[in-house]
Chain A
Amino acid sequence: QTVVTQEPSLSVSPGGTVTLTCGLNSGSVSTNYYPSWYRQTPGQAPRTLIYSTNTRSPGVPDRLSGSILGNKAALTITGAQADDESDYYCALFMGSGVWMFGGGTRLTVL
């Protein structure tokens, strides 16, 4: 069974840089999976940050960037701020009309 993997938790210092990754339990993530990234704060619906690997949604600052690193999709946050503290989810288009989410990464800024 295919599983989309993310780090369960990460931490970053204010002003620092952190990279969240999105992989597959078997195989590599490429641009053909059209990876997208979503942020969710408690009690709110998710918000789209990045799509098609590296395209920012309107209003997303350029200190957030998406890429492919090795065999995974990646979301890099530079100049981390307190309000970056959230849950982050990646999603992959698996083909044949099926999408999958990763398990999410809880990012702490401390």
Chain B
Amino acid sequence: QVQLQESGPGLVKPSETLSLTCSVSSGSVDTGSYHWFWIRQTPGKGLEWIGRLSYSGSATYGPSLKSRATISVGTSKNQFSLKLSSVTAADTAMYYCARARGFPTFDIEIWGQGTMVTVSS
């Protein structure tokens, strides 16, 4: 069973760039017809889809973070990363990475456990 693990700083200063990495326990992000997601959940609120990296290397983003988020392959092909620029306290959240399947199911198959990021000076 493939597992996903998020990593990165738990504390980021306002106006700086949040950087997170998701490590995939087996396989690489460019094999199989999978999509690699970042999702976040602010305290006490719902899930927000940040964006995805496709197996072909293309990235798409949700409307609310489109201008500040960048999702890309990590330093090795069993990792992918999220960068979120110009963070504010509103970006304080639990950040999840996930693997989703494409056609014909388009579902989130595997979730990471999540990593909490706090934006504060």
Interface residues of A (CB under 8 A from B): 1, 34, 36, 38, 40, 45-48, 51-52, 55, 57, 87, 89, 91, 93, 96-104
Contact = CB atoms under 8 A, between A and B. Distances in A.
Interface stretch (B11-19, B24-32, B58-66, B72-80): B58-66
Interface of B: 35, 37, 39, 46-49, 52, 54, 58, 60-63, 96, 100, 104-109, 111-114
8 A-B pairs closest in CB distance: A51-B107, A97-B60, A34-B106, A93-B106, A104-B46, A45-B111, A36-B107, A101-B47
A87 B47 CA distance: 11
A40 B48 CA distance: 14
Contacts of B111: 45-48
Contact of B107 (A48, A87, A100, A104): A48
Helix, strand, loop or mixed for chain B's interface?
A: strand
Helix, strand, loop or mixed for chain A's interface?
A: strand
B102 to A, nearest CB: 9
Contact of B49 (A51, A99, A103): A99
Contacts of A45: 96, 111-114
A25 to B, nearest CB: 13
